Amino acid sequence: MFRLRQRDASAIGELYDLYGSRVYSLAVAILGNGMAAQEVVQDTFIRIWQNPHLYQPMEGKFVSWLLTIARRLAIDHLRHEQRRGGASASLDDDRFPDIHDTRQDEQARWRDLQHVMDELPAEQREVILLAYYRGLSQSEIALSLGIPLGTVKTRMRLGMAKLRSAYLQNE
């Protein structure tokens, strides 16, 4: 990030080599479209190049910041396509996306989380997927599923606690 802030163009290439596949996997999981995912990857790295000062190491890991940017851009793209009447991703898709990393320990951590996600009760998995991979608010989830908002919040809290616990155990 220091090199990026100094406008060292090779730094963005190195970041892309390290994290491009994870950003792409996340974008494909959200959008279900490889071409659109490639646009999100490009937009993500352009955003980082243009705003390297926005990353604050004290607030979290770089990869978390990067994937948050990618997730937001993918959800924005998805919403834009839905407004235009384009193909929309199914809200019934209950699979956890494969997020790949070039490093073995990170791959193992994501596989463990995928396993935990697969083991969650269906109702907890569903609200997490709708929130994090479809960009719905808790109110929108309650409306789309026809359940009370409090139920959505409870399911989300329980599911996230299980995911957090599994992640911390593998860290």
- For the stretch 133-158, pLDDT in tens is 777 889 989 998 999 999 999 999 99
Class of domain 104-170 as given by CATH = mainly alpha
Mean predicted lDDT score pLDDT of the chain: 80
Domain ranges within the chain, ordered by starting residue: 2-84, 104-170
8-state DSSP, 103: S
* Residue partners of 88: CB distance under 8 A and separation at least 6: 78, 81, 82
Is the per-residue pLDDT at 118 higher than 60? yes
8-state DSSP, 124: H
Is the whole model's pTM more than 0.95, yes or no? no
CATH code, 2-84: 1.10.1740.10
